[in-house]
Structure 1
């Protein structure tokens, strides 16, 4: 039964006066009947969704029952039932009160977060129950594998290492919301002369820059493909994003092109200084070895830095060959171990340890050689939750499955009856693959659906949701 009349308007009807009297004369002694409970369905609700506050063990022979925001004060009433249903001062136009006591709230917002209280009063004017529930409405940023934390864009090399003549994708994660345009640059400094390419979302246009060699392709998701790479492509690459609100963010990646197998004449010395992270991707709590190869001859000192700047503030440690001594720097966290072969061990790593690391070597001729390495640390994935618009649908109707995860930097895949879902022309995935829509349902679509959230170090699968398909 939907709310249909106003409560506490300038003129009170006789039944409203009775209702007000019942609340004012309420006895605070609660009879020992079955305890009234409230549950939220779904348990987790996101902005824009609907939620049912379901009442169980509803008492019998009631004079009145009602819902309130926070305290059971008449000024905070949402809706009350006394022979028929009346709106309270806190009714927003989105609530429906049912005769079984349950409250349906449509198109929730974060302002709906808070305590909700359900109160019942017997025909004798005694309070039978007074039960509260806290409803938390999550930001829409939580939807589809995005947490409420606003993280900036990051870049991943795919594959993690590339030989001269090969191709590599600079894969972008966490593109900002309301993106207007993005730019790629060769190097760490952002200026027109080193711009490789740009992409404008509104026009869906791609424009090459002065540093474009003809081998680069920029995609609308921000990623950059480099084809037929040479040793000259080794170095830093910078992504700059700009939103419609003029918010700018930068992300950097270092590309090391392996020239050891190259037959071309324009390669570097085959014994170039290089670093490999072992493993390429690590879980929080583990260890990563930054394995160094081809230290220069006549080496005098080498130093490790967190980041791309070789300054004292970012120095982790310095090793002197002559004195065989290690000096800890300001960025040393007591979790690093340095070795005489130049390698560095990072222990008990966290996501904050992700990023670029720099090794600087100095030989007896004061020649400085620098190398960089990218470290990738990931949290273990937690189990995602899945929601469906309707678990029982008719043939030719549509249905939408949504996969929710608290984790960032994850990918989503879909399963049907414990097998990878084979998409048909009737199915579409959202850009992040967190939503699956079946446009015209058929009988063969009936079965169990699951979503799997995964990153390079772990994966978790949601509980199954069964879809039942009925004939028209």
Structure 2
């Protein structure tokens, strides 16, 4: 049989034994008359995994089909398959990791970021005419999609356990995401990491802790970096600072603010202290945040806002003088801040770069300076997670593992079964971060749709459902 001259490029002849040649992969003319569908199996593929581009509804009486990788307007051939002889030929974009099947599907092994993009499947009938052209876009997700381990760039964070504490209670300053190559860590009372404010330090090499000048006798430092405060009093209110030092001498700082409930206290302050409150406490990117100042003194002379805990011009956002009722913007002004005469400051369209500690410095008529700090938390909304299941069809008494993958860090994971919160049984096990669900052994009642919901302090997203079938 002779291949139509419309299909063959001028000057090319059929390759030995094949009705179509590799040259067709760079010069096929197009037409589209048949509805062929292509789906990615699995729907989301992570770097290093294998993916099958599964073709369905191929027309009958085909002579051959071919796969192309399209980059912008160029058409690049991967491989073609002659159905009459069950032979294949590779094209210029064949990497050695692709396998063609007689049903039209294409398997790509060990995918990389270079594999993402538009793929085209073309079919030709026995008359030598192109009868279909079908395209799909393959997305390859990076290793940012994780389960059970923090992203490599995750910084140390501190969680208060419990979130609220009354006088006389205990509170744990629980540390997350310590660097793997930790050399030492230091705890400080306040926002500045200097020796006189040091509570304690831990040296990893000798597995030893040493108390500092600010140790009150009510603190205990653990090997995992967490700090326990016993029998807290109102004077414990304020910021605490953790500094980590890695073996490569990289230092990281994390802060946490402790608020002690003194409603039942017999102590009282002789004068109201200036405090700052963030509204909302946790903001999503793009929101507005108001830093509300409480207890501003009546004899105010001026106040200054800094994007730092240090009083330097490079961090100054603004200064306000009551005498002339005027605001002067500083070097750290981003054009998104508004300062009010009551001391409060509005930040518009916040980003993650705006997160951190802010300081207001207040000057009264006696030239007495008072400082107050506030921590601004800004989070990106989470992206949609997805579930990978070890097998979608299992038999009773076997086991199955469902894994929730997310691109986000600092998240909580919740499992959903048939649109309701999953009720764990003795046959179900969650990994420590709850990203992996194991059912062993499986029973008929475990059949149904599973989803996972990821959330942070500002948003939540739920995965598409995955259906598990259970056979006898």
The TM-score with structure 2 as length reference comes to 0.78
Question: Which region of structure 1 is more displaced relative to structure 2, 157-166 or 34-43?
Answer: 157-166
Residues 328, 235 of structure 1: alpha-carbon distance in 2 compared, 3 angstrom cutoff: same
Measured after TM superposition, the shift of residue 31 of structure 1 is 5.6
Measured after TM superposition, the shift of residue 88 of structure 1 is 3.7
Measured after TM superposition, the shift of residue 170 of structure 1 is 3.7
Provide Cα deviations, 1:7-59, integer angstroms capped at 9, x if missing partner. xxxxxxxx961327645579845465314443323332112333220213323
Equivalent-residue separation in structure 2 for 1:92 and 1:190 (angstroms): 57
Q: Is the CA contact (8 Å cut-off) linking 1:155 and 1:251 kept in structure 2?
A: no
Q: Is the CA contact (8 Å cut-off) linking 1:388 and 1:402 kept in structure 2?
A: yes
SS in 2 for 1:183: strand
SS in 1 for 2:296: coil
Measured after TM superposition, the shift of residue 290 of structure 1 is 2.2
SS in 2 for 1:444: helix
Q: Could you say which residue in structure 2 is the equivalent of 1:185? A: 187
Q: Could you say which residue in structure 1 is the equivalent of 2:253? A: 251
Q: Is the CA contact (8 Å cut-off) linking 2:383 and 2:408 kept in structure 1?
A: yes
Q: Out of 105, 108, 111, which is 1:105 matched to?
A: 108
Equivalent-residue separation in structure 1 for 2:199 and 2:82 (angstroms): 64
Q: Could you say which residue in structure 2 is the equivalent of 1:165? A: 168
Counterpart mapping for 1:225-244 below 5 A: 225-230=228-233, 231=235, 234-240=238-244, 242=246
Counterpart mapping for 1:410-429 below 5 A: 410-429=411-430
Q: Could you say which residue in structure 2 is the equivalent of 1:12? A: none
RMSD: 3.9
Measured after TM superposition, the shift of residue 368 of structure 1 is 1.9
Equivalent-residue separation in structure 2 for 1:239 and 1:84 (angstroms): 65
Equivalent-residue separation in structure 2 for 1:255 and 1:32 (angstroms): 63
Equivalent-residue separation in structure 1 for 2:264 and 2:120 (angstroms): 72
Residues 261, 207 of structure 1: alpha-carbon distance in 2 compared, 3 angstrom cutoff: farther
Q: Is the CA contact (8 Å cut-off) linking 1:386 and 1:403 kept in structure 2?
A: yes
Provide Cα deviations, 1:123-158, integer angstroms capped at 9, x if missing partner. 344444454444231111123499989453444555
Measured after TM superposition, the shift of residue 160 of structure 1 is 5.7
1:374 and 2:378 are equivalent in the alignment: no
Q: Could you say which residue in structure 2 is the equivalent of 1:6? A: none
Q: Could you say which residue in structure 1 is the equivalent of 2:387? A: 386
Q: Could you say which residue in structure 2 is the equivalent of 1:53? A: 53
SS in 1 for 2:455: strand
Measured after TM superposition, the shift of residue 309 of structure 1 is 1.9
Equivalent-residue separation in structure 2 for 1:25 and 1:418 (angstroms): 50
Equivalent-residue separation in structure 1 for 2:388 and 2:367 (angstroms): 63
Q: Is the CA contact (8 Å cut-off) linking 1:65 and 1:101 kept in structure 2?
A: yes
Equivalent-residue separation in structure 1 for 2:84 and 2:184 (angstroms): 59
Q: Is the CA contact (8 Å cut-off) linking 1:58 and 1:101 kept in structure 2?
A: yes
Q: Is the CA contact (8 Å cut-off) linking 1:67 and 1:80 kept in structure 2?
A: no
Q: Could you say which residue in structure 1 is the equivalent of 2:8? A: none
Q: Could you say which residue in structure 1 is the equivalent of 2:43? A: 43
Provide Cα deviations, 1:170-203, integer angstroms capped at 9, x if missing partner. 4555656x55566243153377993734486xx9
Equivalent-residue separation in structure 2 for 1:132 and 1:296 (angstroms): 68
5+ residue gaps, structure 2, are 1-13
Residues 224, 88 of structure 1: alpha-carbon distance in 2 compared, 3 angstrom cutoff: farther
SS in 2 for 1:272: coil
5+ residue gaps, structure 1, are 1-14
Provide Cα deviations, 1:437-463, integer angstroms capped at 9, x if missing partner. 224322332233221122223333333
1:293 and 2:297 are equivalent in the alignment: no
Q: Could you say which residue in structure 2 is the equivalent of 1:335? A: 336
Residues 353, 33 of structure 1: alpha-carbon distance in 2 compared, 3 angstrom cutoff: same
Equivalent-residue separation in structure 2 for 1:148 and 1:19 (angstroms): 49
Q: Is the CA contact (8 Å cut-off) linking 1:234 and 1:256 kept in structure 2?
A: yes
SS in 2 for 1:313: helix
The TM-score with structure 1 as length reference comes to 0.78
Q: Is the CA contact (8 Å cut-off) linking 1:80 and 1:88 kept in structure 2?
A: no
Q: Is the CA contact (8 Å cut-off) linking 2:237 and 2:260 kept in structure 1?
A: no
Residues 439, 241 of structure 1: alpha-carbon distance in 2 compared, 3 angstrom cutoff: farther
Q: Could you say which residue in structure 2 is the equivalent of 1:18? A: 17
Equivalent-residue separation in structure 2 for 1:254 and 1:269 (angstroms): 26
Residues 449, 161 of structure 1: alpha-carbon distance in 2 compared, 3 angstrom cutoff: same
Counterpart mapping for 1:61-76 below 5 A: 61-70=61-70, 76=78
Measured after TM superposition, the shift of residue 314 of structure 1 is 1.7
Q: Could you say which residue in structure 2 is the equivalent of 1:4? A: none
Equivalent-residue separation in structure 2 for 1:419 and 1:241 (angstroms): 44
Q: Is the CA contact (8 Å cut-off) linking 1:260 and 1:270 kept in structure 2?
A: no
Measured after TM superposition, the shift of residue 356 of structure 1 is 1.0
Q: Is the CA contact (8 Å cut-off) linking 2:305 and 2:316 kept in structure 1?
A: yes
Residues 78, 297 of structure 1: alpha-carbon distance in 2 compared, 3 angstrom cutoff: farther
Matched residues, number: 448
SS in 2 for 1:143: coil
SS in 1 for 2:144: helix
Equivalent-residue separation in structure 2 for 1:290 and 1:121 (angstroms): 67
